[in-house]
């Protein structure tokens, strides 16, 4: 089963001090630690588990700057076979739609049975790339996948989609298809430093806009259907009420507050 996995190199915001760029349309990246997008890490692991069961090759792609090689190497170290980085200044400002079109151009001529992406990115949280990519590629998709089961002849999969309140929607999907993978679907393995060093031997293919059959107007801000107007840190106000009394008194008060606020 040949699998394509799309990953993103994002900032890890653990206790990080986020500063807004001077132009108000992005964050300052200095001092931030970057890592693979969390949901994409689960996607790669799912691909690796499928490869262990059904053989085949895993190709991992990203649209990102040269630093994204760090994430690609980690995927190669874990067992991906090939890596492709799509880098071009003209990709700057691409929204989910434009990014999906860039990825689709790189993927459309590949031989694949399955495309995996994470549900959403930790930085912009749009959750658009995976689903849009499926549409542009013309393949069926299922989003928010929390479990997969592959049929013996490997032409269909049964997937569980995560809905609200712990409900699952169970779908049968014909391959080739795209799944957006939700966190928690598996337990990602570890890529050791020695493993990453060994993976340095594997080549990362780098492509730019000229290598793709895509017009300049189809990418970047020009190719986007949404545009980021402003990014700001919300003003912190103090609005806390401390309830005092015995546990019985306090819980009674809480229930009243919840009722009044329409929570219950």
Which of 127, 81, 133, 72 minimizes the C-alpha distance to 107?
133
Cβ neighbours of residue 228 under 8 Å, at least 6 residues apart? Answer: 25, 26, 93, 95
Nearer to another protein, 14 or 260 (CB): 14
For position 35 contacting another protein by CB under 8 A, the verdict is yes
Tell me if 38 contacts another protein by CB under 8 A: no
Please tell me whether residue 126 adopts helix, strand or coil conformation: coil
| Cβ closest to another protein, residue 31 vs residue 166 | 31
* ∠ Cα 4 133 209 (to 5°): 85
Alpha helices (H) in the chain, listed in sequence order: 38-54, 69-78, 96-107, 129-137, 193-199, 247-260
Using rule CB under 8 A, residue 194 touches another protein: yes
Q: Which of 137, 191, 209, 219 binds another protein (CB under 8 A)?
A: 191
Asked if 193 is part of the footprint of another protein (rule: CB under 8 A), the reply reads yes
Among 54, 57, 65, 70, binds another protein (CB under 8 A): 70
Cis peptide before 54 (omega within 30 of 0): no
- Residue 260 Cβ vs another protein, minimum distance, rounded to whole Å: 36
Q: How far is CA 6 from CA 43, 201, 209, in A?
A: 8, 21, 18
Q: Is 205 in the site for another protein (CB under 8 A)?
A: no
- Based on the shown chain and the rule CB under 8 A, indicate whether residue 40 belongs to the binding site for another protein: no
Q: How far is the CB of 70 from another protein (least distance, A)?
A: 6
What residues make contact with another protein under the rule CB under 8 A? 12, 14-17, 30-31, 33, 35, 69-70, 73, 78, 187-197, 200
């Amino acid at each position: 089963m040949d699998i394509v996995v799309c990953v993103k190199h994002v900032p890890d915001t653990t206790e990080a001090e986020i500063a807004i760029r001077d132009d108000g349309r992005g964050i300052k990246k200095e001092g931030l630690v970057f890592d693979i997008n969390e949901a994409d890490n689960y996607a790669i692991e799912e691909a690796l588990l499928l490869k262990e069961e059904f053989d085949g090759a895993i190709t991992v792609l990203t649209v990102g700057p040269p630093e994204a090689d760090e994430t690609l190497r980690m995927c190669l170290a874990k067992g991906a076979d090939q890596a492709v980085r799509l880098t071009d200044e003209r990709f700057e400002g691409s929204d989910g739609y434009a990014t999906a079109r860039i990825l689709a151009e790189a993927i459309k001529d590949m031989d694949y049975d399955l495309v995996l992406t994470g549900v959403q990115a930790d930085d912009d949280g749009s959750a658009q790339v995976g689903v849009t990519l499926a549409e542009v590629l013309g393949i069926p998709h299922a989003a928010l996948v929390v479990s997969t089961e592959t049929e013996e002849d490997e032409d269909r999969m049964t997937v569980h989609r995560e809905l609200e309140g712990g409900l699952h929607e169970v779908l049968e999907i014909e391959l080739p298809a795209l799944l957006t993978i939700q966190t928690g679907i598996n337990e990602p393995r570890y890529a050791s430093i020695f493993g990453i060093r060994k993976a340095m031997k594997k080549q990362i293919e780098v492509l730019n806009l000229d290598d793709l059959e895509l017009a300049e107007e189809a990418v970047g801000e020009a190719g986007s259907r949404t545009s980021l107007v402003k990014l700001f840190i919300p003003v912190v106000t103090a609005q806390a009420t401390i309830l005092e009394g015995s546990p019985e008194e306090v819980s009674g008060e809480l229930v009243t507050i919840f009722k009044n606020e329409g929570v219950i």
